[in-house]
Amino acid sequence: SQQGEEDPQALSIQEGENATMNCSYKTSINNLQWYRQNSGRGLVHLILIRSNEREKHSGRLRVTLDTSKKSSSLLITASRAADTASYFCASQGAQKLVFGQGTRLTINP
Amino acid sequence: KAGVTQTPRYLIKTRGQQVTLSCSPISGHRSVSWYQQTPGQGLQFLFEYFSETQRNKGNFPGRFSGRQFSNSRSEMNVSTLELGDSALYLCASSSPGTGGQGAQYFGPGTRLLVL
């Protein structure tokens, strides 16, 4: 399969804690993107990091990219109940987006 | 701007039937991609259309087809439905000028159940 892998598959933390999700991909990329999905609905784009970037921030989100290891991580700081969702990384080469299997994040009040 | 819209939202069909799903991209977006999401296989790319031409295609059988109209609206068709086609079908559009590289804006999806 061309799909990437995400780790962990599920993560449960307390509100206010930080959440870290990891993603690995298989082919060379132009960019890597992270998406959020709530309960089987459509995906929401969170952040995009280009292959020549190593780190990017957006609000409470921090993404890192290591092209030598073909891996990325998403850090959500100061988590909130509304962050409960599934998070997917998606690697993009010359053409299509290839999604990982996702991490199911649960924020406990 | 209105977001990506998909119709219908839910659909129940029986094996052997065919189905057509519709997607209207964000105004001004000319690229439309389709994905299938299942618990077992995750999110898989079906195809992408740009300016009424199929630009990319995923690894799905020929029963899955699509098209795009001059107003950028897109349809996908699945013929001879199988139980395994039960899935959430997601459509996404992307901003012009990105050459397909960049954020995808997803619709709410069509949930198809094949009995």
How would residue B99 be classed by pLDDT, with cut points 50, 70 and 90?
low
Mean pLDDT by 10 residues, chain A (109 residues): 78 97 93 92 93 96 97 97 96 86 95
Residue of A nearest to B104 (CA): A45
User: How confident is the model at residue B84, as a pLDDT?
Assistant: 96
pLDDT above 60 (res B110): yes
What residues of A are in contact with residue B42 (Cβ under 8 Å)? 3, 99-102
Express each pLDDT in B33-61 by its tens digit.
Answer: 999 999 989 999 999 999 999 988 999 99
Exposure b/e, A68-103, CB count within 10 A at least 16 = b: eebbbbbebeebeeebbbbbbbbbbbeebbbbbbbb
Name residue A46's amino acid. L
What residues of A are in contact with residue B45 (Cβ under 8 Å)? 96-98
Average pLDDT, chain B: 93
Identity of the residue in A41, A44, A88 whose CB atom sits nearest the CB atom of B109: A41
User: How confident is the model at residue A94, as a pLDDT?
Assistant: 76
Which helix H or strand E contains A50, and what residues bound it?
A: strand A43-50
Q: Would you call B108 and A48 a contact, using CB atoms and an 8 Å cutoff?
A: no
Q: Would you call A31 and B42 a contact, using CB atoms and an 8 Å cutoff?
A: no
Best CA proximity match to A54, nearest among A71, A35, A39: A71
- Higher-scoring residue by pLDDT: A96, B11: B11
The residues, any chain, with a CB within 8 Å of residue B55's CB and separated by 6 or more, are A95, B31, B48, B49, B100
Please count the residues of chain A: 109
User: How confident is the model at residue A46, as a pLDDT?
Assistant: 97
User: How confident is the model at residue A11, as a pLDDT?
Assistant: 96
